Structure 1
Amino acid sequence: MRMPKVIIMLLLTLLVGCKEEKLARGEAAPALAAFDLQDNAASLERWRGKAIYLNFWSAGCGGCLAEMDTLQALSQRWPDKVVVVGVNTDPDSVEIAPLLAKHGISYPVLRDRLKITQERYQVIGTPTSVLIDSRGRVVDLHQGWRKPEELQAVFSQLAQR
């Protein structure tokens, strides 16, 4: 009878020791747990030295689709300084290739199959964007749609960092 109580106390102690990590400005951006469209594991290291506009989106999100054309244009404006990385949050059963082709998307797009990246970046809805500077530090987290002129201002600031 004593052994189950010991196990329960041990488990409670472990649970109390667990803490939720908060995405904090100025801290290192969490690692990605997502895959590109060719099923290769993705890493922020691939874009080290550039600012990253990490954009979480889903195919059924009107705001996400509204941002795509502007993000595509801005991704080509400062290619040596800022990279857009789209992170699709839909299940694999949702075919996104036709949608990407329709919008002419050439920036990297990842799929977050296990939802781990969404958890690490505290994504509670789409669109959600995380700005990461060229040193890999979180600059800002924004939930919701941005107007084209807002995106333009954000990219101008990122390009100057």
Structure 2
Amino acid sequence: MTNTHLAPPWQVSRWFNSAPLTLADLRGQVVVAHAFQMLCPGCAMQALPQMQRVRQLFPEQRVAVIGLHTVFEHHQAQGPLALEAFLHEYRYNFPVGVDQHVDGDPLPLTMRAYAMQGTPTLMLIDAKGRLREQHFGVLDDITLGAMLGGLLREMDEAELHGVTD
């Protein structure tokens, strides 16, 4: 699970529930992010509710919960206005970035940079900004909790020993 390379930057055209964020802004926190589409059943029924649970269970200053609306199909039905209503109706209050598109390319830029297979895709980024896990689909809550606990333990040990990269 160790990776020494920084996670690729996110290419986001718009943010909901937050001022614009970068991965550099989130250094010092463990980042749990899900790339999702609001019309994806696995995203709507499993990934996003899991993100909300993580947001409620872990302190914000230690674990950043981020959604990336990564639309690669049904583009017209999943625009910013629909996303805003979706986030409001389901009371998702964690930051959500809209993965940026380039004209003529159906795949958004962050999806392409991370070589995602589809949605939902879970990304765990350690406190140093390294992509430590990328998983297509949804992990069960216990597995995700154990992985987050391990990354938090690493963060605590690094702080305790004054280790920086």
TM-score normalised to the size of structure 2?
0.73
- Quote the Cα distance in structure 1 between the aligned partners of 2:118 and 2:32: 17
Please give the per-residue CA displacement for 1:88-107, whole angstroms capped at 9, x wherever unaligned: 01236511122212332111
Alignment pair present for 1:30 and 2:8: yes
- Quote the Cα distance in structure 1 between the aligned partners of 2:61 and 2:17: 24
Report sequence identity in percent: 25
Q: Which residue of 2 aligns with 1:6?
A: none
When the two structures are aligned, how many residues end up with a matched partner? 138
Q: Which residue of 1 aligns with 2:129?
A: 136
Q: Greater Rg, structure 1 or structure 2? A: 1
Note the aligned Cα RMSD (angstroms): 2.3
Q: Which of 41, 48, 62 is matched with 1:81 structurally?
A: 62
How far is the alpha carbon of 1:148 from its aligned partner? 2.8
Q: Quickly say closer, same or farther: Cα 1:40–1:81, change in 2 above 3 A.
A: closer
How far is the alpha carbon of 1:68 from its aligned partner? 1.4
- The one-letter amino acid of 1:110's match is G
How far is the alpha carbon of 1:77 from its aligned partner? 2.2
- The one-letter amino acid of 1:82's match is V
Q: Which of 79, 84, 102 is matched with 1:97 structurally?
A: 84
List gaps (5 residues or longer) in structure 1. 1-23
- Quote the Cα distance in structure 2 between the aligned partners of 1:62 and 1:135: 32
Q: Quickly say closer, same or farther: Cα 1:92–1:82, change in 2 above 3 A.
A: farther
- Quote the Cα distance in structure 2 between the aligned partners of 1:68 and 1:38: 15
- The one-letter amino acid of 2:31's match is I
Taking the TM superposition and a 5 Å limit, the aligned residue runs for 1:1-161 are 25-34=3-12, 35-37=14-16, 42-65=21-44, 66-78=46-58, 79-90=60-71, 91=75, 93-94=77-78, 95-114=82-101, 115-161=108-154
How far is the alpha carbon of 1:38 from its aligned partner? 8.0
How far is the alpha carbon of 1:87 from its aligned partner? 0.4
Q: Quickly say closer, same or farther: Cα 1:92–1:108, change in 2 above 3 A.
A: farther
List gaps (5 residues or longer) in structure 2. 102-107, 155-165
